[in-house]
Amino acid sequence: MIVPLVRLVVGAAAAFGVYKLLTGKKKVFVSYYYDSDRHYKRLLMAWSANDKFELEFEDVSTDVSIRSDNEAYIKRVISDKIKQCDVFIVLVGKKSHRRDWINWEIAKAKEYGKKIVAIKGKRSHTSPEELLSAGAEWVYGFEEKKIREAIFS
């Protein structure tokens, strides 16, 4: 029973490696405050889907509300998504620093050793506290080229 399981895990890992090698796509988790910064997330997705832009990635974020009031379950689902990503992006908007979930997601990305890219639309926006000690790569302004370089560097 263990041998088939090992084969399955090794096969899945190999398939993932081949997919990544063939597509060159990074798996990205985007942390942001939906109420005020969703337009930036949508713009990232539009750039990735548009052949006129070089930015291309696979989104593994949780954009759909997780239908549960069970905080432990919600955290487990989000943790699994963060574990899957190659790059963890934080969109730092005007109110991001007040969002407990954003700080929690950053802490998880740090715990899992993920590359963190912080995108600040305006330098005047206050950064979430967890981000200050995250070793993040910072992007100031919302420009496709700068964001692409930060994700793929």
* Separation between Cα atoms, residue 116 and residue 29, nearest integer Å: 10
| Chain mean pLDDT for the chain | 84
The tens digit of pLDDT for each residue in 45-81 reads: 999 999 888 888 888 887 656 666 788 888 998 999 9
- In CATH terms, the fold of domain 24-152 is Rossmann fold (3.40.50)
The per-residue b/e assignment along 51-72, b for 16 or more CB within 10 angstroms, e otherwise, is eeeebbbebbbbeeeeeeeeee
Q: To the nearest whole percent, how much of the chain has pLDDT over 90? A: 62
Number of neighbours of residue 153 by Cβ within 10 angstroms: 8
Residue type for 55, please?
Answer: L
Strand partners, 140: 120
The string of DSSP letters for 34-65 reads HHHHHHHHHHHHHHHH-TTSS--EEE----SP
Query: pTM value?
Result: 0.81
More confident residue, 47 or 18: 47
Tell me, rounded to whole angstroms, the distance of Cα 119 from its chain centroid: 11
Which residues have CB under 8 Å from 148's CB, separation 6+?
54, 55
* Separation between Cα atoms, residue 143 and residue 121, nearest integer Å: 9
- For 9-23, 46-60, 107-121, which range has the lowest pLDDT when averaged over its residues? 9-23
| Nearest to 78, CA basis, from 135, 92, 70 | 70
